[in-house]
Amino acid sequence: MKNTVVTFREAKKKGEKLSMLTAYDYSTAKLIDEAGINAILVGDSLGNVILGYEDTLSVTMEDMIHHTAAVTRGAKNALVIADMPFMSYQASVYDAVVNAGRLIKEGHAQAVKLEGGVEACDRIKAIVQASIPVCAHIGLTPQSINVFGGHKVQGKGEEAAQKLLDAARAVEEAGAFALVMECVPAKLAEKITNTVGIPTIGIGAGAGCDGQVLVTNDMLGMFSDFTPKFVRRFAEIGEAMKDAFANYDREIREGGFPAPEHTYGIDDDIIEKLY
């Protein structure tokens, strides 16, 4: 059955956990969908794991639309949420609504995600008023990396913790249907989860959240430029890929590939007549 924002709302009411993974292409989206994951996030982490940038700041609307459209073609049942890239919503409410609309109309996502707490609420409200569901994202928000000065846990002191709790309440009030919390102490994330009525999706925020999200390339062991503490590798696909590539290379050199079963036949008569 298709997951929607209603599935998310119901899951919170029933205390059922939600699962989310990132995807950036058709084939991966199809596999994630077939595994029964509730939601696929087309994260702007594509800047790191697909495009090879050092951060997410260079990702464009065109990148996001291109990859979101590929993912939505592969996702039948998962709710597809597209990230709003840096500077697609920061400058004005108008930009926010127009760009959210493009991710729905051209990327065919069913919801968008944007980073920020209280300061993002006017954008969240306006996008929701345009009938586009919004997932908020607080805590470590990678688009603010230059303000944070690195990938650091957020909300550790009393003032910072209160600010995150206030942000969670504010984005719910603004109309967000869900809230991603990244790199937040587990007890604070649990307190926020028990305070708000919308589902919280944690990444580095402990088991007390209503759901979890990971970057697929991290959890598959396909991306090793940096590995945050919160990542668990559920497979070593990167090593399996390297082995397969080396095996392919060896088989070509040693004449083992292609074998007769991988080739197409032609009558010997025809070959003999050629001059």
Output the six-digit token pair for 66.
């291109």
Q: CA 13, CA 30: separation in Å to the nearest integer?
A: 28
58 or 129: CB nearest ligand KIV: 58
Contacting range for ligand KIV; rule: CB under 6 A; set: 38-46, 69-77, 95-103, 245-253: 38-46
Count other Cβ atoms within 10 Å, centred on residue 28: 20
Token pair belonging to 51: 């495009």
Long-range CB contact pairs, 225-234, < 8 A, 24+:
225/48, 226/151, 228/151, 228/183, 228/204, 229/204, 230/183, 230/203, 230/204, 230/205
Query: Any contact of residue 180 with ligand KIV (CB under 6 A)?
Result: yes
Nearer to ligand KIV, 22 or 38 (CB): 22
Based on CB atoms, which residue is closest to ligand KIV, 74 or 139?
A: 139
Please list every residue from 102 through 121 that binds ligand KIV, using CB under 6 A: none
Length of the chain equals 275
Which residue in this structure is represented by tokens 């913790």? 161
3 state DSSP class of 17: coil
Alpha-carbon span 126 to 88, nearest angstrom: 14
The whole-angstrom separation of Cα 191 and Cα 89 is: 29
Using the rule CB under 6 A, give the single segment among 37-45, 84-92, 186-194, 234-242 that binds ligand KIV: 37-45
Count residues binding ligand KIV (CB under 6 A).
12
Q: Is 126 in the site for ligand KIV (CB under 6 A)?
A: no
Name the H helices within 204-265.
Answer: 216-219, 237-254
Residues 206-235 that bind ligand KIV (CB under 6 A): 213, 215
- Of the pair 234, 248, the CB lying nearest ligand KIV is at 234
| Nearest CA-CA partner of 147 in 181, 122, 169, 116 | 116
Task: Kindly indicate which of the ranges 41-49, 102-110, 169-177, 238-246 contains the residues binding ligand KIV, using the contact rule CB under 6 A.
Answer: 41-49
- Distance (Å, rounded) from C-alpha 7 to C-alpha 2? 9
Chosen residue from 3, 43, 68, 179 binding ligand KIV by CB under 6 A: 43
In the complex with ligand KIV, which residue's Cβ is closer, 150 or 265? 150
| Plot region of 204 (φ>0 → left; ψ -120 to 50 → alpha; else → beta) | left
The reply to whether 200 sits near ligand KIV by the rule CB under 6 A is: no
For the question of residue 182 being annotated catalytic, the response is yes
Residue 55 or 95: the one with the smaller Cβ distance to ligand KIV is 55
Quick one: which segment of 43-51, 157-165, 236-244, 255-263 binds ligand KIV (CB under 6 A)? 43-51
Q: List the one residue from 7, 12, 18, 44 that touches ligand KIV (CB under 6 A).
A: 44
Of 115, 172, 182, 190, the catalytic one is 182
Q: Which residues of 136-147 are buried (b: 16+ CB within 10 A; e: fewer)?
A: bbbbbbbbebee
Q: Given the rule CB under 6 A, which residues bind ligand KIV?
A: 22, 41, 43-45, 83, 137, 180, 182, 203, 213, 215
Query: What positions carry a catalytic annotation?
Result: 182
